[in-house]
Structure 1
Amino acid sequence: MNDMARQDTPALVLDKVTKEYSQWQRSGETKDIIRNLLRPEKRVVTALDQVSLVINSGEFVAYAGANGAGKSTTIKILSGILTPTKGGVTVLGLNPLKDRIPLMHRVGVLFGQRTELWWDHPVITSFQWKKDVWNIPDQVYEKNLQMVTELLDLPDILKTFARELSLGQRMRADIAMLLLHGPELIFLDEPTLGLDVLAKQQMIGFLKKLNKEYGTTVVVTSHDMDDLEEMAQRVVFINKGKIAFDGDFDSLRSVMGGFYRILVTTQPGVPALSLPEMKLLHSENDVHEYEFDRTKVPIHEVLGNLSNYSQILDLEIKKAPIEDVVASLYLSWKEN
């Protein structure tokens, strides 16, 4: 496939995909043993319900949702690991089930920090093993090895045994191994989980650069919404097996209202001010944090109200943390 055809072909398409599981039900009571054997009950669980989704080549998309919402099921279907009960799926124009081998040469998948590194061998040995098993051409391997070594800062760990790596080092090595065959599309499950602040910044910076400079399509899942907001341009939320939201992070905030936070620093000993249309969240050391909905009270009106108080020393306005927005969203879904 030439480069123009690849650009015109969506990275992935889900067309009304449903995935159902059957679960045998057993009470666990001794008195029900015979009934469980002779007349077992079966319950059908719908993990995905008529899911339709298109992600275009070159996008960086966050795929989010609560535990059990259907995220992992979706990725496994796109990877050819699971078969959908109903609906159509294409990835890079291919069928993940029928074309799994050629597709895997164009896709990279990292699930739940499961490593493919050989535990009792140096990192470079695992890389060379993948080159041989995957039949990666010398030129492609050397080019990609040089890229990941430079961008992921690997020189000091290539000759280190995998079992001796820190979590951050191992994640960098796993991502590097994932990219050795030059995938056009990568799926990442919780790539920043457990990383310290510096390692997390390095990982996010690398993924953004990989997407922007190399055009790699990235689909990432995480429970850390701050990380997702920093990485991705688009966020897709799945709830109870259905797409509940698809858009950018500003649009996500507007779903729950235009909530903003304002930090008001007052002179020592001045109590929190009673301000119209503003909710006091907490006060500490003469700094008082309020929340307001700018769709109900414009920022200029908030500032106008605050200008009447001479006890104010400083102000800082910021968007509500995305974690709080998502928590409110989850709560609203749970109540419906």
Structure 2
Amino acid sequence: MENMAAPDILALDIVDITKIYSQWQRTGQVRDILRNLIHPQKKEIKALEGLSLQVRQGEFAAYAGANGAGKSTTIKILSGILKPTSGSVRVLGMDPSVSRLELMRRIGVLFGQRTELWWDQPVLTSFEWKKSVWNIPDSVYKENLDMVTELLDLGELLHTFSRELSLGQRMKADLGMLLLHSPQVLFLDEPTLGLDVLAKRDMITFLKKINKERGVTIVVTSHDMDDLEEMARRIILLDHGHLAFDGSFEELRRVQGGLGRVRVTVSEDAGAGMQELPGLTLEEVKDNVYEYAYNHEKSSMQDILKALSCLSGIEDVELKRAPIEEVIAKLYRSWK
């Protein structure tokens, strides 16, 4: 498969967009029914406010934020489902709200809780339906069908009724269907939601492969930060509709102060003095394994190893980075 990426061309160009929702206010009390009819009240909610960002063709970007940050609203605007209240949006040079039909032939959108598969038909029937309705050329359809069948292991699933698929199997079939028309950009909203470990691994491996080998631009949202770090090279964080961070995962770790972990395994008769060590905060004890958190900007590795060398019964020491979940959770707490 040839890499079709064009890294010098913008796939997404979002300039100062704001999206405001209006909500009717109701008290739910019988005595207020007449007042609500005569003087209805609305509340404005800003899902996005002054958001600007760019994604170049061939990028794999993670798009994250706490619940209500504006992630799904952004994806719906980019795919033409919603129109921004103000600002401008271009996807592959097109305005999604104006050129939605043309744009849909060049992008793919997947929401983790929804499916386009026909419930009471084999998966292959849904694929062939898309080929017919979308007028996908025979050669393109065959090439893409062969690709997704092999890489997503869909062979036995193609002739299985959609209602008989597990969640992981359905997600793979939905992703396969999404790629039949060779989209240049993918918007994936929680694609690994509810998947078991093996299904999640297959999904991540496949997405990284089509990004690298076909140059497909991918923007993915997820609450599983470990998945995002494994998939994407760039992370964009939203906070209440505002752009809060845009950079690499390593840059994000540095911004948060260089959090790290030390895992110490000791012999069964050891343990004295393990509770309090200078520069280390005890996070967890399981059997004979002690896990500590530290900040390498405040505690040098030399000081940490010196403190450990004074203890007896140490069998193993493992150094690792703090989980990205913890790094981002610390940011979320600071935004409240």
User: TM-score, with normalisation over the residues of structure 1?
Assistant: 0.96
Paired residues for 1:22-171 under 5 Å = 22-171=22-171
Give the deviation of 1:4 after TM superposition.
9.3
Distance 1:4 1:183 in 2: 11
Give the deviation of 1:311 after TM superposition.
2.5
Q: Mark the runs of 5 or more structure 1 residues left unpaired by the alignment.
A: none
Which deviates more from structure 2 when the two are superposed, residues 18-27 or residues 276-285? 276-285
**Contact 1:6–1:92 at 8 Å: present in 2 too?**
no
Give the deviation of 1:91 after TM superposition.
0.2
Distance 1:238 1:121 in 2: 40
Q: Which position in structure 1 is the counterpart of 2:276?
A: 274
Secondary structure, aligned partner of 1:81: coil
Q: Mark the runs of 5 or more structure 2 residues left unpaired by the alignment.
A: none
**Contact 1:204–1:231 at 8 Å: present in 2 too?**
yes
Distance 2:302 2:142 in 1: 57
Distance 1:256 1:5 in 2: 32
Q: Which amino acid aligns with 1:75?
A: I
Secondary structure, aligned partner of 1:116: coil
Give the deviation of 1:327 after TM superposition.
1.4
Distance 1:89 1:140 in 2: 29
**Contact 1:262–1:289 at 8 Å: present in 2 too?**
yes
**Contact 1:113–1:171 at 8 Å: present in 2 too?**
no
Distance 1:176 1:113 in 2: 16
Q: Which position in structure 1 is the counterpart of 2:313?
A: 311
1:10 and 2:10 aligned? yes
Give the deviation of 1:321 after TM superposition.
1.0
Give the deviation of 1:274 after TM superposition.
2.5
From 301, 304, 317, the equivalent of 2:303 is: 301
Distance 2:157 2:252 in 1: 40
**Contact 1:167–1:194 at 8 Å: present in 2 too?**
yes
Matched-pair identity in %: 60
From 323, 331, 334, the equivalent of 1:332 is: 334
Give the deviation of 1:8 after TM superposition.
3.5
Q: Which position in structure 2 is the counterpart of 1:250?
A: 250
**Contact 1:264–1:315 at 8 Å: present in 2 too?**
yes
Secondary structure, aligned partner of 2:81: coil
Aligned length in residues: 332
Distance 1:96 1:7 in 2: 21
Q: Which amino acid aligns with 1:201?
A: R
Secondary structure, aligned partner of 1:8: coil
Q: Which position in structure 1 is the counterpart of 2:291?
A: 289
Distance 1:160 1:288 in 2: 48
User: TM-score, with normalisation over the residues of structure 2?
Assistant: 0.96
Q: 1:194-249: CA deviations, max 9, x gaps?
A: 11111110010000101011110010111111111111101111110111111111
**Contact 1:60–1:234 at 8 Å: present in 2 too?**
yes
**Contact 1:236–1:245 at 8 Å: present in 2 too?**
yes
**Contact 1:262–1:315 at 8 Å: present in 2 too?**
yes
Secondary structure, aligned partner of 1:46: strand
Taking structure 1 as reference, are residues 278 and 159 closer, same or farther at Cα in structure 2, changes over 3 Å only?
A: same
Q: Which amino acid aligns with 2:306?
A: G
Taking structure 1 as reference, are residues 4 and 135 closer, same or farther at Cα in structure 2, changes over 3 Å only?
A: closer
Distance 2:163 2:114 in 1: 13
CA RMSD of aligned residues (A): 1.5
Q: 1:93-129: CA deviations, max 9, x gaps?
A: 1111111111111000012331101111111111000
